[in-house]
Amino acid sequence: MALIQGIPGEFGPQPWGEAILRTSELLLLRITRRPADHEVRLPGLATTPLHVVEDHTGRALTWRLDGDDLIVRLPDTGEAPVVRVALEGKLRIVPPDTVTANADGVWDLTPTGTTSYLVARRSADVAIRVFADSRPRVFLANQSSVAGDACRTIGPFPMPAGLVVPLRVEATAIRRILVAPVGTVLASIHPTGDGELSVVVTNFGRATAHGEAGLKLPDGSGCQWTFEGLEPGASVAWPVPILGPSGRHELRVRLDAGRRSASSPYTIRLPATG
């Protein structure tokens, strides 16, 4: 993957100790638990190091980058040192929960908190559909918007390529967030209760959409739907009872809605019967 530019921030606790931001361009790695292999890994460092030395002696230490992780080789003997990491510029990090868009440029998020971090492979204008129990307010980077209707998309927002962008959503009971390039018609699958799912088609475009959607079920049967006059920003949904053998099944809607059709997969686990 190409280099990802991170966001300003600081590191959380590490298995080997802590990373302390002394100045905007200087990190101190305080080692309190020496790893057995004498290598310290600092994940999510987006700023390139200039040099890495032992703090008290100035002795240069061996280091390398593994993706967005900095790996420093500690001396094999002696007390665990404090490591000084000088940076080429201001500290920028890649948060551990950063999500990259899939091949269709779509993010499919089930957030564990109010903020997620997104990375796009290429620049695009995107819209956001939040599945929540209240009208959401969305903050993407330094842009914000509130939904006039909780069942419609919000946007567009410009999304740059290769830049970590925070997405914050204020709403009650957020179940899922879909982010897609403007112009996309997206099919998604959502749990609605025991033994039932909902197939949802959302128009992230600027023009009215029409097409067909189909879903093959785990028991070998299938469902087929057509939709007409789906307005920009709107969604249409169909309930689907789910039957089939026990185990894990990956479902994906077959969607035909023009050149920008996309479909997010969904995995279910059916319990054993009897």
Amino acid symbol at 48: T
Other Cβ atoms closer than 10 A to 133 = 11
* pLDDT confidence bin for 145, thresholds 50/70/90: very high
Other Cβ atoms closer than 10 A to 237 = 15
- Strands (DSSP E) contained in 124-221 are 124-131, 137-140, 143-146, 154-159, 165-170, 176-181, 185-193, 196-203, 209-216
* pLDDT confidence bin for 126, thresholds 50/70/90: very high
Average pLDDT, the chain: 91
What is the biggest distance separating any 2 CA atoms in the chain, rounded to whole angstroms? 72
Q: What is the pLDDT of residues 65-98, one digit of tens each?
A: 998 899 999 988 778 789 999 999 999 999 988 9
Cα–Cα distance for residue pair 155/179, rounded to 1 Å: 10
Domain limits of the chain? 17-87, 96-180, 183-274
Same fold, 17-87 and 183-274: yes
Cα–Cα distance for residue pair 55/58, rounded to 1 Å: 6
The class of domain 183-274 in CATH terms is mainly beta
Q: What is the pLDDT of residues 154-179, one digit of tens each?
A: 999 999 998 999 999 999 899 999 99
The class of domain 17-87 in CATH terms is mainly beta
- What's residue 171's pLDDT? 92
Q: What is the pLDDT of residues 212-271, one digit of tens each?
A: 999 998 888 899 999 999 999 999 999 998 877 888 889 999 999 998 999 999 998 888
The length of the chain in residues reads 274
One-character DSSP codes across 67-111: TTEEEEEPPSSSSPPEEEEEESSS--B--TTEEE--TTS-EEE--
Entry pTM: 0.84
Q: Mean pLDDT check: name the lowest of 5-9, 81-85, 135-139, 203-207.
A: 5-9
Q: Which one of 2.60.40, 1.10.3470, 3.30.365, 2.60.120 gives the CATH number of domain 96-180? A: 2.60.120
* pLDDT confidence bin for 56, thresholds 50/70/90: confident
- What's residue 73's pLDDT? 95
